Structure 1
Amino acid sequence: MSSLAKPLPALYAVYVLRSTVRSKSIYVGSTPNPPRRLKQHNGEAKGGAVRTSRESLRPWEMIVLVTGFPSSVAALKFEWALNNPHLTLHIPKEDRITVATRRKKNGMPARSPHALDSIIPNLHLLTSVPSFARWPLNVHFFSKDAHEAWVDRLITSKTPARAGLEVFSDLGASADDQSTTSRGIHSLPLDYWPMKEYIEKAHNTVLFEKQGQCIHCHEGMESDQGLYAMCPNDGCEAMGHLDCWSKRALASDDDPTAILPNSCECPSCGGKIRWGDMIKELSLRTRGPGEVEKLLRKKKRLAAKES
């Protein structure tokens, strides 16, 4: 891979911000660091956006986060679509929930101001459209009414959340929790630490040249001769050619026209694998050796302190 290429980000989120003073004021943005971004919006750190700078609307709280984007560009595309559901080409015209009822001075269609009863349905819609349906996305709710709106949308639309979408909730995370404790957005890991065990087993397998034979085609895997992906499931060290994993995943896909895999079953342990999780580890191992070394050093230091 190119030395200029970067690994998939540990975290990049699209967030829904709401004023705690005026609940109808909602803002949508994206960031790799939600706690820092919230401080910027609330004037506690430099940065933020002009639209959130009015003291009469502060403090703001993050009520919904979408994570799992494969890049910052991917997150920005999703953010734009959520901000402009009346214009985005990711939503077919016949499926639009939000339509323009007026025009701006420049003649472009203008949407109505964001509201919870439009943001949540559009979020449900966008996570399911073909453009985004195969990304390993997660939706996090930090307010009760936002989560209830999501559940109501699932019921009224009669369309379940798309396969592979993981939904989490921390409904006790008030605005104060989000700025002073480890709850809410502060509970989200900003680095690769949650993947440390997975990263370490794959790193050691490659480091000590223990790749062996591909779990799928049973051909030998020579060091530095290809892209080899490893099963992320605990206790399983099955490794194989990336294209072999891809063929297995696509062969079992419900969509015969799919090009990008969504998930597959490991032939060794039988466990399910989200394609995005496996690719994130592979991209980190091949594009971010410095990040891997830093993570493994951190683990050794913590282990030494505990012993």
Structure 2
Amino acid sequence: MSVLPKPIPPLYTVYILRSTVRRASLYVGSTPHPPRRLKQHNGESKGGAVRTSRSTLRPWEMVGLVSGFPGMVAALKFEWALTNSHLSLHIPSTSRINVATQKKRNGHPKRPPHSVTSILSNLHLLLRVPSFARLPIKLHFFAPDVHRAWIKWCGTSNEPLRDTINVVTDFGLAANASTEGDKEITDATSQPWGIYALSLDYAPIKDYVEKTQSAFAFEREGDCVVCGEGLNPGEGLYAACSNAGCEGVGHVSCWSEHLLGKEKNDSIIPVSGRCPKCEGQVRWGEMMMEMSLRLRGQKEISKLLKKPRKRKAAISNDT
């Protein structure tokens, strides 16, 4: 049975879980739906993991996560490497931070215990190795102390991350709460925050998708913005500029070569750059998500662009 290709998912994450009862207890996992996964870990719905099922450790909280993976496989590889940094082949032996000092009964190396510092230090390391360094990664921190630990580690590391990695903090009530004696005062009407404020669908690129749907539906591809060659509708892989008001379209290979620039001899996957037509900033990961959605996700596009139904006018009491 053949498996139909799917578009790049709107969200796939690798998350850091911490027990609110025993804060030294940590867990690393992956999911496309953090709120649902947290409920599973806390026993509020079916699922979860055996390691997080102990009632003495619940409830758990997600204190940080990594997003921007192009699919489940990439996220699972990153999760495994972060969890098993003492074994992962993604990490060169000369760069390894965690080293196994004990063995299991079967003779295999025993994983060193996790700590916030060990997880963040290995996270910093994995974001620099070739396997993951060019993914459109975004880091999210939901606990102030974990974010402070990240800032501290970044300050002590001699190897900086690329500046295109976006770091987002959302501490919600933890940052805005005030105290009056021993009583915590919070705003009951506060907006969703943390994992509950994450967009789980393609809504963030809705305008981008709407623009490209119009351009390709009416065959306004024009000429490649990089090489100038005419683009025959429906006869190639074409990527489009993500900036509002710009309908620059080009061959994927041309976009790649243009965005790589001087890096093209060392890398094959671009990160970001400027559109040749409008000079606006574009991100390769976002462009590939839109293209995959356009080519493989008509069902998802229909749902995204579906206009809400108008409510029927109320029937007059006189009729």
TM-score over 0.5 (shorter chain): yes
1:12–1:67 contact (8 Å) kept in structure 2: yes
1:290 alignment partner in structure 2: 299
1:259 matched to 2:268? The reply is yes
Name whichever of 258-267 and 204-213 sits farther off: 258-267
1:17 alignment partner in structure 2: 17
Cα separation, 2, equivalents of 1:282 and 1:192:
13
1:167 matched to 2:174? The reply is no
1:252–1:264 contact (8 Å) kept in structure 2: no
Q: TM-score, normalised by structure 2?
A: 0.89
1:83 alignment partner in structure 2: 83
Cα separation, 2, equivalents of 1:216 and 1:150:
39
2:204 alignment partner in structure 1: 194
1:205 alignment partner in structure 2: 215
1:9–1:71 contact (8 Å) kept in structure 2: yes
2:290 alignment partner in structure 1: 281
Cα separation, 2, equivalents of 1:129 and 1:294:
37
Cα displacement (A) at 1:213: 1.1
Cα displacement (A) at 1:78: 0.1
> Letter of the aligned partner of 2:275 in structure 1?
C
Cα displacement (A) at 1:259: 1.5
Cα separation, 1, equivalents of 2:295 and 2:173:
37
Q: Deviations over 1:158-205 (max 9, x none)?
A: 33222321110012355x99xx96111011000001100001101110
RMSD, matched Cα: 1.9
1:140 matched to 2:140? The reply is yes
- 5+ residue gaps, structure 1: none
Q: Deviations over 1:123-164 (max 9, x none)?
A: 111111110001101110000111011101111113322232
Q: Deviations over 1:199-226 (max 9, x none)?
A: 1101110011111111111121111100
Segments of 4+ in structure 1 off by > 6 A?
Answer: none
1:271 alignment partner in structure 2: 280
> Letter of the aligned partner of 2:215 in structure 1?
T
Name whichever of 74-83 and 92-101 sits farther off: 92-101
Cα displacement (A) at 1:256: 2.8
Q: Which has the higher helix share?
A: 1
Cα separation, 1, equivalents of 2:15 and 2:173:
15
Cα displacement (A) at 1:96: 1.0
Secondary structure of 2:30's aligned partner: strand
Cα separation, 2, equivalents of 1:117 and 1:221:
51
Cα separation, 1, equivalents of 2:67 and 2:173:
18
Cα separation, 1, equivalents of 2:219 and 2:191:
44
Secondary structure of 2:214's aligned partner: helix
1:139–1:165 contact (8 Å) kept in structure 2: yes
Q: TM-score, normalised by structure 1?
A: 0.92
2:259 to 235, 249, 255: 249
Cα separation, 2, equivalents of 1:232 and 1:3:
29
> Which has the higher Rg, Structure 1 or Structure 2?
2
Aligned residues: 297
Name whichever of 143-152 and 104-113 sits farther off: 104-113
Secondary structure of 1:291's aligned partner: helix
1:220 alignment partner in structure 2: 230
Secondary structure of 1:77's aligned partner: helix
Secondary structure of 1:56's aligned partner: coil
> Letter of the aligned partner of 1:187 in structure 2?
A
> Letter of the aligned partner of 2:297 in structure 1?
G
- 5+ residue gaps, structure 2: 175-185, 312-319
Cα separation, 2, equivalents of 1:197 and 1:260:
25
Secondary structure of 1:15's aligned partner: strand
Check 1:181–1:20 CA distance in 2 against 1; reply closer, same or farther (3 A cut).
farther
